[in-house]
Structure formats: structure tokens, C-alpha cells
Amino acid sequence: MKFEIFVTLKKEVLDPQGKAVEGAIKNLGLNSISNIRQGKYFTLEINEQDHSTALMHAEEACKKLLANLTIEEYQIRKLD
Amino acid sequence: MKASVIVFPGSNCDRDVQVALEKFQIPTTMVWHQETSLPKCDLIVLPGGFSYGDYLRCGSMASKSKVVNEVIKFANNGGYVFGICNGFQILTETGLLPGALLRNYKLKFICKDIFIKTTNNKTPFTNKITEKKILTIPIAHNEGNYFASNEEVNDLKENNQIVFQYCDLKGNVSEQSNPNGSILNIAGIINKKKNVLGMMPHPERVIDQILGGTDGQEIFKSLLQ
């Protein structure tokens, strides 16, 4: 089973990289773009038949390593 | 007092810490990150560097290494653990210290001497530091911007866990004297039990006049108590 995982900084955590990217975007003249936040993207395969078991393993990976829950949040999506 | 210094792939201040500890007659053993047991010791140092190339998040991979499981048990049993720079990042990733270290506010790697004041000199790591003395110590990091939730920051204040704060030469803690954007100018914190300390500045780099300063000595002297 394939999953994709997005890890992003929580809303209340300042994202200086996102801000710098936003500055560069503005320099391109794309003034309608704002609130850029930068994050991480993972894809992974889990060798399980049962969807909920696989999801549980993905959750555990996020909580224990892929995301730092002090500053980040995550979203897991199943890929076909 | 006996010490162990944990060596991760990418550690680069491990030897400097060893030199510093041995200068104060603290026998020191280097311990590779894949070890599953620790030598008998009273103090464990997690040194500065770029463990695992800072992949994923600084210190995240190191915090899951085999030997760190033993370090966590050691800390929970009351042993002294001292994390410097990358070591501090590793300690927050293990959960032994609260909060996290984010990218510096201005997105630049900063390598320079800064001033810090000791906010709590009643810890085993700081008891030899003269009250109100401003220490000049180098920092060298890209991710030293200390962040914690409001709840965690209140907890740190209530329990006197903020140990070092960035300041100016006169000891003023202000936005101007904050090199990296850390909450409350935090440069170092200790856990509630006061046996685990993490700090971003490098005391091991200022233990001898020949290195440019001696202000780091007081931390190592404190440990000898």
C-alpha cells in the first residue's frame, strides 16, 4: 500500500523560509500570491494488506520520526 | 567524575569536548552511536556537529540511535547529560528537554562570539559561574532559534529551567542581543530534575587563552563539584 505524507510547520510557528520564498515570488511580480508556507513531502510503501493497520504504521512513523509534533503537523493520504 | 562523549556520524566537536573534559581531569571515553551499552560514568556529553548530515531535522535521526536509548535511561536514573549545539537539538528531539530548535530567524548560519548571562547558577552545570557574570562564548549554528509552546515556556519560567540567555555586554536581554530569534533569548535550558542541560553556545571552544577565551571553563569546573 502506498501513502503520501505532508509535514508542515504549525500555523503558530514562524516559517522564515516560506517568508523568503514569498519575497522572491513578489519579485517575480506575482503579487496575488501570499501566505507561502514550506513543508516536507514523503512517499512510502507499507507491506500490509489491511488498510487500517497500514495507516496505523504510517501514523506511528509520523509521530515518532517524520514530524516533530512540538512544531509540525502531518497529513497522510493513501495513493492508489 | 567520569564522562562519556557520544560520537555520531557527523559529530565534529566530540574531540574538542574530550580535550576540555580532560583538561579538568575528567577521564573521558568516546562512545560510538551504535553501542547498546554505556561505560560506567557520571556524565554523558552529546557533542556539537551535524549528526546524520542534519537530514530530516537537526538531531532527529541521532535521537533514534541505539545508544541514545541508553542515554535516555541514564538521564531518567538521574545521570548528568550535557548537550552542546547539535547535542541540544538531539535532546529536544528525544523529549528529554522541551521545545525545538528552528532555523535561525534570518536564515543564516551564524558563527561568532556572543554574550550570555546565566539565569540560573544553582544547577550542577553552572554552580561555579559567578552571579551576573557575562560569558563570552562562540555560537556556530543554523538552527538555534529556540521555540516552545506558551505552556512549555511558562513551565520553563516557573521551574527556573532557563539557564542561559543571549544578552549584550552589559547583560541586557533584548531583541538586539538575540542572534537567532529564540523565544526569551534562550541560549540554554535544563530539565525539571536539573540533570539534563542543553545549550547552543560552545563552552568547549573557550577553555584556554590560546583558543581565544576561558569563559567556558566555569561550566566544566561546575561539573567537578
To the nearest 10 degrees (0 to 180), the angle between helices B86-94 and B66-76 is 80
Residue A57: per-residue pLDDT = 97
DSSP characters over chain B: --EEEEE-TTB-SHHHHHHHHHHTT--EEEEETT-SS--S-SEEEE--B-GGGG-SSTTTTGGGSHHHHHHHHHHHTT-EEEEETHHHHHHHHHTSS-SEEEPPTTS--EEEEEEEEES---STTTTTSPTTPEEEEEEEES--EEE--HHHHHHHHHTT-EEEEEE-TT----STT-SS--GGGEEEEE-TTS-EEEESS-GGGSSBGGGTB-TTHHHHHHHT-
Tell me the residues of chain A between 21 and 80 that have a Cβ less than 8 Å away from chain B: 40, 64-66, 68, 70-71
Q: Is B174 exposed, middle or buried (0-12, 13-18, 19+ CB in 10 A)?
A: exposed
Could you say which of A13, A17, A65 has the minimum Cβ distance to residue B60? A65
| A80 pLDDT more than 90 | no
DSSP symbols for B5-48: EEE-TTB-SHHHHHHHHHHTT--EEEEETT-SS--S-SEEEE--
pLDDT tens by residue, chain B, 225 residues: 999 999 999 999 999 999 999 999 999 999 999 999 999 999 999 999 999 999 999 999 999 999 999 999 999 999 999 999 999 999 999 999 999 999 999 999 999 999 999 999 999 999 999 888 899 999 999 999 999 999 999 999 999 999 999 999 999 999 999 999 999 999 999 999 999 999 999 999 999 999 999 999 999 999 987
- Stretch (H or E) spanning A3: strand A2-9
Supply the pLDDT for residue B225.
74
Q: Which pLDDT score is estimated for B188?
A: 98
Closest Cα in chain B to A14: B105
- Looking at residue B67, its pLDDT comes to 97
Q: Which residue has the cell 504504521?
A: A57
With 0.90 as the threshold, say if the pTM is over it.
Answer: yes
Say whether the ipTM exceeds 0.90. no
A13-55 pLDDT tens trace: 989 889 999 999 999 999 999 999 999 999 999 999 999 999 9
- Chain B's closest residue to A7, CA to CA, is B56
CB contact under 8 Å between A16 and B107, yes or no, is: yes
Among A17, A19, A44, A68, the residue to mutate for chain B (most B Cβ within 10 A): A68
- Return the C-alpha cell found at A39: 513543508
Output the nine-digit C-alpha cell for B21. Answer: 573534559
From B85, B93, B141, B143, active-site residue: B85
- All residues of chain A having their beta carbon less than 8 Å from the beta carbon of residue B101 are none
Q: Do A65 and B98 touch (CB under 8 A)?
A: no
CB contact under 8 A, A16 and B60: no
- pLDDT for the residue B132: 80
Is B204 assigned a catalytic role?
A: yes
